[in-house]
Amino acid sequence: MVLQLHYNRVCIEAWAYTLPDEIVSTEQIESRLSPLYDRLKLPLGRLELMTGIRERRFFSATERPSRISAITGRKAIATASVAPAAIGALIHGSVCRDCLEPATACAVHRQLDLPPTCAVYDVSNACLGLLNGIVQAANMIELGQIKAALVVGTENGRQLVESTIAALNADLSLDRKQIKTAFASLTIGASSAAVVLVDRRLSRRGHRLLGGVMLARTDHCDLCRGDHVAGATEKALLMETDSEALLREGIAAAASAFDGFLDALSWRRDTINRTFCHQVGKAHHRLLFESLKLDPSIDFATYPTLGNTGAVALPMTVARGIEQAPPRQGDRVALLGIGSGINVVMLGLDWGTAQ
């Protein structure tokens, strides 16, 4: 059983993204781990071999997510040709935020000079925050509460990667089995993404959000946990991930949700023209498409050069994908989101033209 979503009056008018300038290769990360690699006699290249990730990008350690989100949000609003005064909701959906209080969305709202009548808040749900924001914005438009919404976020994995490298090199008691829970942290990167949704009557593009499904499998919520380490400095952010179990249970949850997704939209597998998925690595990508019985050639991937960028990974991948190879009129586009928790959000678009 899944929660079904249905929309008649919602269009996604624009996608936008911002990438950091700094590129960090997987080879560079492994070089910094040489004390660990030498001690445990680990072969160089294993991280890229396991994940398919050659490099990722980082913003500076002092960069505030709100500043980058405002840049990306401004791009999305301009692409959508929507007046800032028409934005009725601003939702910031990334894991990274400026501070615990107030909401990072407040700083973005101020920098974009959006109206005081705009609903402003953060949504946090691991790698699905922006997708959850899209669902909430779509619900508000469908109900007639607002005419347009901006969903935006910025992730910067630098702190997590730096803390993980330091912790792995410092703990001389770790063995090969124990370090496995830290390796997923080394795949994290940075980027920013934004989405503008509008009432169908305002759309010039007609890319309709038809609906989708949501599914929770929270009996697996302990498979990936990130937090500041107790008793350490505030900067010591670490994450423990049972990568094999998370992969297995995440794929199983996705398979369960996908049948409901097809039913909700009255689609068939062979009528889906394009897919965009949350970006984890090559094993996840391969097993997901095998499990869903989809042709991987219809997908667009960014993980080889950007890694896992958390909640912005899927919308950023959509933005880059349609920039490089725009869907054709009438294409059915599936957004397939799976995040730790475990939660699944799958959304379907009819890539049409304005009516």
More confident residue, 16 or 230: 16
Task: Please report, to the nearest 10 degrees, the dihedral formed by the alpha carbons of residues 253, 258, 260, 265 taken in order.
Answer: 150
Tokens of 45: 């290249």
35-62 pLDDT, tens digit each: 999 999 999 999 999 999 999 999 999 9
The confidence band for 235, taking pLDDT boundaries of 50, 70 and 90, is low
87-96 pLDDT, tens digit each: 999 999 999 9
Class of domain 17-202: alpha beta
Could you tell me which residues come within 8 angstroms of residue 157 by beta carbon, excluding any fewer than 6 positions away? 56, 58, 188, 189, 190, 307, 308, 309, 310
Does residue 353 carry a pLDDT above 70?
Answer: no
Does residue 230 carry a pLDDT above 70?
Answer: no
Percentage with pLDDT > 90 across the chain:
95
> How high is the mean pLDDT of the chain?
96
272-320 pLDDT, tens digit each: 999 999 999 999 999 999 999 999 999 999 999 999 999 999 999 999 9
Q: Which part of the chain is CATH 3.40.47.10?
A: 3-7+204-351, 17-202
Does residue 355 carry a pLDDT above 50?
Answer: no
Catalytic option among 127, 224, 249, 277: 127
CB 306 within 8 A of CB 279: yes
Is 101 a known active-site residue?
yes
Is 99 a known active-site residue?
no
pLDDT (0 to 100) of residue 236: 76
Second CATH level (architecture) for the domain 3-7+204-351: 3-Layer(aba) Sandwich (3.40)
